[in-house]
Amino acid sequence: MYQQKLKMKNTTNKIIITLVYSLTLISSLSCSNEKKNQEENTNVNAIIHSVDTIVAIGKVQSEYGKYTIASNTSGIVSNIFISEGDQVEKGQVLLLLSNPYQSVDKEIAYSKLKTRQDEVEITKKDLDQEKVQLDFLKNKLATSKILFDKNAETKENLILDQTNYTKQKERVRSLESQLFSKESLVKEQLLEINKTTITAKQFEIHAPNAGLISDLNVNLGQFVNETQSLGDITDINQLIIEAEVDELFADLVKIGQKVVLTSINTKQQIGEGEIIYTSPILANKSILYENANEAEDRRVRQIKIKPLHTSMTLLINAKIECQIKTK
């Protein structure tokens, strides 16, 4: 019995010694790996910060983006004056819309104006005649008063002349009031015609801004609705390059750094630029890939580069290799 207990005690001690040894070995290996990782991280950081040039791929874009071509009213496209790739000025007429009721409304408006103008002329003639009659009755009344004072005219005739003169004055006042109302109607009709003219101008679709017609999706005879997008105008006067820097070098890019611009196709330098914007966040997907499956997601820092000197014309959406000088 004693020997069995002694044997169990020895076995237990061996297990404890083995566990202690294992833990010591694991701890030693862990410290060794941690030290190794720290050394590797230090080496990577040293390599990263020793880099003096970062290469990023960028895409040429308009600094102010695109402007939508749209109509303020509905209609049928009757004329198209521009094509994709054309440069236009702000306010330039791009398209014409037609409306089957437009000419009818215009004819009706001018017909009403003519009628009201004729009514004004007739009323003016009537008023002139009544004013002549008023002067006649006024003189007759004055004569009757003189004769009545000399007992050469009866009181009844004087009263009749007075009544006729008073009635004529009212008739003249009435015609003057009618003339004022009809002239007001003429003014209103002129305003209506101006409104019709403005409506007609709304059928002219103008360029909202100067730039390049980068997209045009409208055809002759097509019916378009109010505010429907008919195309885009890209401002090409202020171009920038939107580029991306891998997250390993994200903290090395800063505003004001110089950039060498190189053609993706020829690998030749085409100009220089300067970083004008750095994103405060890391993006998960590259802006340079048009399709979701074109490349795997990666974390990048988006930057914007302003071209300073270029030996060739930069084309919208063209890809440019950007060599960023960090030192």
Question: What's the pLDDT tens digit per position in 67-96?
Answer: 999 988 888 898 999 999 899 999 999 999
Quick one: pLDDT at residue 275?
95
Angle of helix 102-149 versus helix 155-202 axis, rounded to 10 = 160
Q: pTM for the whole thing?
A: 0.50
Q: In this structure, are residues 257 and 236 in contact, taking their beta carbons and an 8 Å threshold?
A: no
**What is the C-alpha to C-alpha distance for residues 231 and 295, in angstroms, rounded to an integer?**
30
End-to-end CA distance of the chain: 82
Pull the structure tokens for residue 187.
Answer: 């003014």
pLDDT band at 19 (very low <50, low <70, confident <90, very high): very low
What CATH class does 68-96+204-233 carry?
A: mainly beta
More confident residue, 76 or 26: 76
- The arithmetic mean of pLDDT across residues 95-109, rounded, is 76
Averaged confidence pLDDT in the chain: 82
Quick one: pLDDT at residue 16?
45
Q: In this structure, are residues 304 and 241 in contact, taking their beta carbons and an 8 Å threshold?
A: yes
Q: In this structure, are residues 251 and 258 in contact, taking their beta carbons and an 8 Å threshold?
A: no
Q: In this structure, are residues 209 and 57 in contact, taking their beta carbons and an 8 Å threshold?
A: no
Superfamily of domain 51-64+236-325: Efflux pump adaptor protein, beta barrel domain (2.40.30.170)
**What is the C-alpha to C-alpha distance for residues 130 and 136, in angstroms, rounded to an integer?**
10
Q: Which helix (H) or strand (E) holds 133?
A: helix 102-149
- The arithmetic mean of pLDDT across residues 185-198, rounded, is 82
Q: In this structure, are residues 310 and 261 in contact, taking their beta carbons and an 8 Å threshold?
A: yes
